[in-house]
Structure 1
Amino acid sequence: MTHALEVAGIDKSFGTTKVLRSISFAVESGSTTAIVGPSGCGKTTLLRIIAGFEKPDQGSISLNGRAVAGTGWVPAHRRTVGYVAQDGALFPHANVAANVGFGLPRQARTKLRIAELLEMVSLDESYSSRRPDQLSGGQQQRVALARALARAPELMLLDEPFSALDAGLRVTTRRIVAEVLAKAGITTILVTHDQSEALSFADQVAVMSAGRLAQLGTPREIYDAPIDVPTAEFIGDAVVLPAIVEGNTATCALGEVALSRSTNAAAMSGRARIMLRPEQIEITAGEAGVWGRVVDVEYLGSEALVGIDLDDRGADDVPERVTVRRFGTSKLAVGDRVSIRVLGTAIAYTS
């Protein structure tokens, strides 16, 4: 397996504040990795260290087998790395051609080469004469990507490049950028705080928490089998309930729920917490299941999140609450009595 990037034991502090703690992971050549986590978890600092804008206190980084940090130090301008910032960082008084050409050697700044780079990011040659303030946010980000591609990078770093765009434009721009990078076969790292963006964009997701790498895996692994409850709740909507585990079954307010194979049931015997995703809970026609009352309906257009207080009360005589994701039109209203059942399996964690 060829690794385009290897990060090993990276530590970084600013003054007395420890920002990164023993970060280690590898990125396969031609793949896309998303680094996701809440604000302040250290993800942008990690990206800047990979780019060469910051030096780590400890640890090493290799690009395609060449050490660039640790045993030696290679500055940013000597690394074959492209970097696209959140705001694109275009030169405001230069036109598109000049912005894209900035990433090229002077002798290569031809009209034909700039047109080729613009075509790679789905922009017509006619955009060459426009200034950044004459472009939409999505077009500006694509120009920034074209400028980064001009350097023929081995590794592309994207620092929350879609966060300033509105929802519809963000999805469109993200798709175009993903297609461009995949077609060019460029290894890519995306930093984002948007969980759905990380899951849809990447082959591999790295979840960071408080300066540490909490979990690394495929998008499906991260979503279906998060390593702990904080990761589960960060990466998507989660229903977490207290339970008693015995064998491969958990008993909770939803009745008996089968546990996933990823749960070490033998080591989990006794009190625990289980995690289900809202789409794993189905509102039934009432012929079977657990009963409860609708207390909240959050309408989201194509779907709705329905909050339900279960009849089964917890140890403090407080109803257990679950959230159900319903796709399509939902006519449920606050106060409705409903029955629900679990689809699939749950993940169990020590309580």
Structure 2
Amino acid sequence: MKQAIIEEKLGVYKTRDWEKYTFFKDWIIFDARKQKLQIVYGMQANDLRMLIGGAKPIDQLTDPAQRDARAHIMNAFSMMNADGSEPRSIDFHSFRGKFTPEFDPRRFALKDSIYAQRLDLLAFLLRNVLYRFSTCLPQVNYCEFSVGCGDLSRPWVFAVLTTFSNDKKFNKFHYLVNQSFPWLKTNGFEKSIDYRFLAGFNRRISPISNACSADKSLDFLNEAPSYAIHLMLREFYQSKKQRETIIFTEQVKQLKKLEKASTNTEDFYHWVVGLDLLGDELGYPYCPFVAYEFLRFVRDARQANSAFGTRIHSGENVPFARPELPGYRLFAAHMYILYRCLAFLKEELGSNIRVGHGIAFDKLLSIKNY
């Protein structure tokens, strides 16, 4: 069924030889991210380029099927208008509240597939961003990129990400650029920019109640806010007593891999300067960084880099309701848990704690007489 929907959007049935030519097949690929051979089902890039009209700009395409296919592919990478043109304010309204799955995984699925097979394109993306930073006014001299902790735990991916170091000491991949990857050559613009990484962790957790599945997290928070708050207070207690986490076990598994990589990678804490909590916040105000395992990791990291910190994306995708409406209960519970997590981190770590965006905090603090 999914294949039929994709073929319709790409206009496969409108090609002359669609009955004779098989676009979708099983392929053996090398997953450069995981360093494994895999059998995958899909189509080749050459066929996809043909279906979307090659390299012609979308406004020069005369075939309606190719134009529609191009618009779908463009929307697979960025939130554009339905026809592939630049989004207007009314289009942004339609995106609101659709962080998942409209934004993630939809607009990351193709990117992840490309990067998994071509790590040099991941470096090319980094090169392009550094170039844009170097040419903007005022010029950006320092930036931090949020990278999944899984990639930072893989030495071969780590080497690619540090290709454009402005240090005199280069990694092995840097020396391969001139020989095998000429499209990654630079004119020295990246030397003016210091860039570092934050290890990203997904905020989604396993179901915290047997009566509530993972896709019902919002209902759970709305119907049982007191119990949700209790679970976080219990995590604070566990952390204070230096006991293992109860609800953040998946994040701790990832943390252990990152910790292992930190001991095996030279200058790890020179490049990785903090932790980042990301992902769709709706129904998930819980912060795994309050767990004892994370606090211990941060304290150990500060032995190598005293500025090592945390960034918590919070107060972003939270539905606001006026205090007199029933929905305010959900908003208040969500924001209360966030506040308590931030206060706990401030108490335990003291400094270098950042909040990403946090537009819902403005809504909460601007309510008069409440």
With the length of structure 1 as denominator, give the TM-score of the two structures.
0.26
Q: Which is richer in strand?
A: 1
Higher helix share: 2
Higher relative contact order (CA 8 A, sep 6+): 1
Q: TM-score, length-normalised on structure 2? A: 0.25
